[in-house]
Every structure is written in structure tokens, then in C-alpha cells.
Chains A and B, each alone.
Chain A
């Protein structure tokens, strides 16, 4: 297999796994969101990279251009980026409110606080 030729896939997989690992392994809510963001970003690469041909241009119908890049993945990922930004913004807003309510953004401290004050209203 041509390892160097599949460079973009290796990067995608690396980012994907790293992001997912951060989400699972880190107790800090902010760091979890960072991991989530990296995980989502890897998907952008998964879509974009195969859509680009080396030497390809934008798909303009003209006899001067022969090789086109596929524009559809770019459009899709533009949508996905917007979704990602919205998710991140909402996640951060929730973290702010959790910080106000609990005084902490460490997962274990929050769980401990809930156990102590468990059944209070």
C-alpha cells in the first residue's frame, strides 16, 4: 500500500482517534469539548481531501479547464462546520452555566457534589 499517497487519510484517522480519546479520557469539561471539536474536524478532512484533485480547478464549464475538483464535499462540509460551531457554542454556554451552578468544571467534583447534595431541591 502506498503509505505516503494516503497521507490525508492517516491524518484523518489520527485526529479522529485523538479527539475521541480526549473526550473519553479527560475529566475537564472544557477539554472534553476541545476533543469533541478535534473529532468533528477530522470528519471535515475526510470529506474534503478526496474531493480535491491535484491540478483541478473549480468546476467552471469552459474548454480551457479539463480537470475539476468535486465541489459538493466543500458545500457539505461548510454546513457541517456551521453545525460544529453551533454545537461548540452551546457546549461552552452549558459549561459556563455548570460552572455557575457547581463552582467547578471537573467531572469528578461535579459528580461528588451531586452525591452529597443528592436529593435536595
Chain B
């Protein structure tokens, strides 16, 4: 649906109808995703054969508990961001480019949804490139000239990542003769010569890690998030890296299986160490940023560290933590970047020096940022707490008390960087850089607050997120045994 909407928006060439088409497409895919998720929860995985060619020859679309969960997150975020983009994009882009923004947005969405839904490893690469190419364009639309350089960097690194992924798939194809993910998993169990398979695993790991910005392959992320238009930052931060995490989970547990990933190569240990380094270093770097968008971009790198940390534990609770955090971090970061977009619109840019006294000038926006910030820290009553809770449980279950202590301790660094905003916004007197009192436009504030409310709601009512994640975790572990 978004794929059909993309050329439509080009043909229309006017911003308002293009926006309407994009919004309709996003809403439709969100509704479809929710229905799909309900269907999958009730009746198990759904498989759709493109062109009626039965798998493993034809391309198969496959929705199971995990992909349904990610589909809901991605399409939901898109549905929230589109109404927001109405004002935000109009303010940040020249008028004649606005319709192209929606084209790229639809393409990006279809790429991300396609990555999630496809059951074919090579098809996944094609969707990955559709999503990435359009996100390079979206980032380059930023006003600052540095946006173009950031986009170029992302293009080079992203393409290297995607190419590594294709190399990995190529090696697996040579070893097994199939590209269907489920078929691949079965045939891999009978492969005698494991060395090429392990090489393929290594290539895929590096390629996907580049896409999901796992430390030390995260260098493209802070620049790209800082200089992209606000709506783009919010959308990409909430979805693009998350879908890559999904791909990594899918390959580790469904395709290769735990015995290959964990026993033949020290993947668990590598992931664990990299996650820990990512959390500590990115949180510390975030402490010293003066631009709020950049600050939260580094914090994204750290939060991705928590997700991979959960993955590296490879237990039921660890995976629940990873999947729940994938969702919770998506909505939290989405809310933060949407609110910061409002600040940037009113204050020119979202620098820490511009938000002095913001608590009085834009009370709703500031309050939203603080609540989303609390969720980032993991304060009880917010969504972030639920995922950290499972992460700590998983760490204790794995017998490593120091890891549980580590998760709690690093949350304190998050307290410190969120506090920097609180200090500037509430405790400093307004000065010349502070915008005139007045809120961001309602169409921008409303979607952002919707996500903030979601942060709080999913902090209290965990039945949807945790249940979805539990089913996904059981599925992954079941597939890998």
C-alpha cells in the first residue's frame, strides 16, 4: 500500500493531496498490521506466496508473532509521524519539495515493512535498500548543509553494510542452494562443511550491525539524526534501527539457531562486550553534547546497546527484554524527537542554550520531554521501566549479578543527561536565545503527546507489549532448538 502511494504522491505534485495520500496509506497499513497481529495471535503464522509460486521457489511473505509485533510498531510510528509532518515539513522544506518528502516517506515505510514481512533472504536485501536509499534522501533534505555530508556518510556506510549482508547471503546460498528463510534454517542443519556457513554468519552480523548502529559501527547515526528534518529523525530513530535488530534476531535464532551462533563462534560474548561498551561510551558522550538532538542520538546508540544486551543473553527473559525494549524505546525516542522538533521550530534549533527557561515558555512540550526522558531512564510507571526490569531479571537468571548492577548503574548516566535538559528548561532564567512563550502548533504537539501517553500507558499496562514479546521470544527459542 505505501508502495502504491509513493508514485501517486509524485503524480499529484501538490503538498496537501500528497499528504492525504501518505496519511491514508500509513493508517491503512497500521490497521492492516493490527489486524494481522490479532490474526497471528489467534491462528499462528500466516504465509502468503507472491505470484502463487510455492516456497521455497517463489518469494514468500511470512508473518509470525515477532514480525507482527515489529509491523505494528513501524506502521504505528508512521501513522503518528505523518500528521506531525504536515506542519513540521512545511516549516523546514521549500514548498516545491514537500510532495517529494511524502514520496520518500512512503518508500521508506514500504522498505521497512517489507524487510519485516518477507520470508526470503534476498528479497529482504532489496527491501533493505529501498528503505535505506529513501532514508538517505530524507536525511539530505535537512536545512543544514551538514545534512548532506551526514547523508553521504550514511550512504557509504549503509551500502557497505548492505553489501556485507549480500555477501553473507551469497555464501549461504552457495552452501545450501536456497534463499527462503525457513528452508535455509532446515537445510543448514544438514550442512557438513560449517566453515563457509560461519563466514556467512560473520558477514551478515557485520552488515546488519552497521545498519542497526551497534557500537563501534554507529558513527553514521549521530550526524544523520542531528541534521535530518525533525519528522524524519523521529521516524527513523523509532523504526529503522529497530527493523535491523529484527533482522539480526531473525538470522541468529531462526536461520542459524543457537547452537551455531553461540557454540561455534563466540557471538554471545562478542555481542555482550560490544553492548556494554556501547551503553557506557555512548551515554558518556551524550553527557557532553550541547545539541539536544545529538544528545538523544547518542542515547539511541546506548539504548540499542540494551537491546543487543538482551539478545546476547539468549534466554527467554533476555529476548523478552530485547523485544519489549525495541518497542518501548521506539515510542520513547519517537516522542522525544517529535517534541524536540517542536522546540526546533520555535527556537530555530534544539541547542541546550536555546531551551533555557523553556519550562515556562513551552510548558507542555517541556513536560512531555521530561516524561519521555523518565521513560528513557527507566523510572517505574513508564515504559522504559518494564524493559529494564526484564533485562535485570534475565541478567540475574543468567547468574551474573554484576550485569544486573551494570544495567541499573548505567541508567544513572541517563539520569544525568536527561537532567541537563531539566536544569536548562526549568531552573535557568530565560535569556535572549529562548523563544517567545507559546506552544508548538497543535498538529505537532498532539502526535508527540500521543506517544508520551503511550510511554506511560505501556508502563502500567504491560499485557500487550510483554505478551507480544513473550510469544516472539518463545517462537525464536523454539525455532532455534
Given contacts A43-B166, A46-B167, A83-B126, contact A91 B156 (CB under 8 A): yes
Complex interface: chain A residues within 8 A of B167 (CB)? 16, 43, 46
**Chain A residue at smallest Cβ distance from B166:** A43
Given contacts A36-B156, A40-B159, A121-B348, contact A90 B148 (CB under 8 A): no
A36 and B156 alpha carbons, distance in the complex (Å): 7
Given contacts A86-B129, A110-B149, contact A97 B140 (CB under 8 A): yes
B32 at the interface (CB under 8 A from A): no
A57 at the interface (CB under 8 A from B): no
**Chain B residue at smallest Cβ distance from A76:** B122
Identify whether the interface residues of B are mostly helix, strand, loop, or mixed: helix
B306 at the interface (CB under 8 A from A): no
**Can you name 5 extra interface pairs (CB under 8 A) apart from A87-B155, A114-B146?**
A16-B167, A47-B170, A72-B179, A87-B159, A94-B155
Range of interface residues on B (Cβ < 8 Å): 20 to 34
Q: In the complex, are the beta carbons of B151 and A121 less than 8 A apart?
A: no
Chain B min CB distance to A2 (Å) = 17
A86 and B162 alpha carbons, distance in the complex (Å): 13
Complex interface: chain B residues within 8 A of A47 (CB)? 170, 173
Chain A min CB distance to B210 (Å) = 13
Q: Mark each residue of chain B from 140 to 181: 1 if its CB lies under 8 Å from any CB of chain A, else 0.
A: 100011101101100110011011001100100110000100
The 10 closest A-B pairs by CB, nearest first: A101-B145, A83-B129, A94-B152, A46-B170, A98-B148, A97-B148, A47-B170, A87-B159, A43-B166, A91-B155
A85 and B162 alpha carbons, distance in the complex (Å): 14
A18 at the interface (CB under 8 A from B): no
Complex interface: chain A residues within 8 A of B271 (CB)? none
Q: Considering residues A47, A83, A97, A110, which has the most beta carbons from chain B within 10 angstroms of its beta carbon?
A: A83
Q: In the complex, are the beta carbons of B160 and A98 less than 8 A apart?
A: no
Chain B min CB distance to A10 (Å) = 16
A32 and B159 alpha carbons, distance in the complex (Å): 12
Which residues of chain A have a CB within 8 Å of any CB of chain B? 16, 20, 23, 29, 32-33, 36, 39-40, 43, 46-47, 50, 72-73, 76, 79-80, 83, 86-87, 90-91, 94-95, 97-98, 101-102, 110, 114, 121
A80 and B145 alpha carbons, distance in the complex (Å): 30
**Chain B residue at smallest Cβ distance from A99:** B148
Q: In the complex, are the beta carbons of A95 and B152 less than 8 A apart?
A: yes
B136 at the interface (CB under 8 A from A): yes
A9 and B453 alpha carbons, distance in the complex (Å): 55
Q: Mark each residue of chain B from 309 to 326: 1 if its CB lies under 8 Å from any CB of chain A, else 0.
A: 000000000000000000
Q: In the complex, are the beta carbons of B163 and A43 less than 8 A apart?
A: yes
Complex interface: chain B residues within 8 A of A90 (CB)? 133, 136-137, 155
Chain B min CB distance to A21 (Å) = 12
